[in-house]
Amino acid sequence: MTETTLSPADRTALAKDWFEDLRTRICGEFEAIEREAGSDAAFVFTPWEREEEGNPDPGGGVQGLMKGKVFEKVGVNVSTVRGNFSPEFAASVNGASADNPGFSATGISLVAHMANPHVPAVHMNTRFLTTGKAWFGGGADLNPPIPYDEDTAEFHACFRATCSRHNPTYYDRFKKWADDYFYIPHRQCHRGVGGIFYDHMEVAEEGAFDRNFSFTRDVGETFLDIYPRLVRRRMNAEFTDADKLQQLEWRGRYAEFNLVYDRGTLFGLKTGGNIDAILMSLPPEAVWT
């Protein structure tokens, strides 16, 4: 089967299979880190089904959640849903409209909040959506309560190299997109130290599906390569009560962004997603002083 003979459902199925495989490997690596720390923590996987009136096959997903010694709370979710947007929400989605509100979407979403404030929290998401158009989107960004220049530089260097293998313009474009997107206007600060963010990589042109799917897979592989290295580098560092307070205050900023500005949160809520899976991005504990 070639790209030109793939139906929209075939493309969604290919992306779904990849996201599920990536989920399995990420969860295995995170559990291995817990074992290295002397913990037997493991992911609990909870399937859920979406409901939509008049839709016999609305899809659903699996929420993966682990609370351990190193990963205070980490969620790795995969969902595949299909149906119709509400007319008012359809107007805000690429390729959708009140007259053409149908959609399908599959993706992986990950947020990790760490026990040790010296270990950076992280977000990663990649997805494939089909409306009147079809496209890939996603990215990864690092969110350290206590930033280390070494970690920030290495995280960005890995994604710069990945982007450069596909297009020499990608890194500068997608880094700026992340910087602009992960900004908290009412706090006048960024959510973290950035990364990459991309969206609307459409697949209508010949070869575009294979090309953009390849890039999206490389984003996932890059995350799986770099983030566990950063965790292992910092997870045994000693920390003070002041360090922990700094982490908890920073988590408050993270929660504010995700509840007020994050498009993924809004998409999940507007399309009847699982509330627990949508809000797994929120930290287990935060303070506002």
Neighbours of 82 (CB within 10 A): 19
Q: Looking at the DSSP assignment, which residues form a beta bridge with residue 112?
A: 74, 122
Token digits of residue 182: 């992960």
Q: Is 123 a catalytic residue?
A: yes
- Which residue has 């997805």 as its token pair? 127
Q: Which of 255, 117, 246, 92 is nearest to 186 (CA)?
A: 255
- Cα distances from 186 to residues 145, 159, 175, 177, 256, in angstroms, run 19, 29, 22, 19, 10
Active-site residue, selected from the candidate residues 113, 118, 123, 190: 123
209-214 CB contacts, 8 Å cutoff, 24+ apart: 209/3, 209/6, 209/11, 209/134, 210/3, 211/166, 212/135, 212/136, 213/14, 213/15, 213/18, 213/128, 213/136, 214/166
- The SS3 of residue 198 is strand
Q: Looking at the DSSP assignment, which residues form a beta bridge with residue 135?
A: 129, 202
Please give the positions annotated as active site: 123
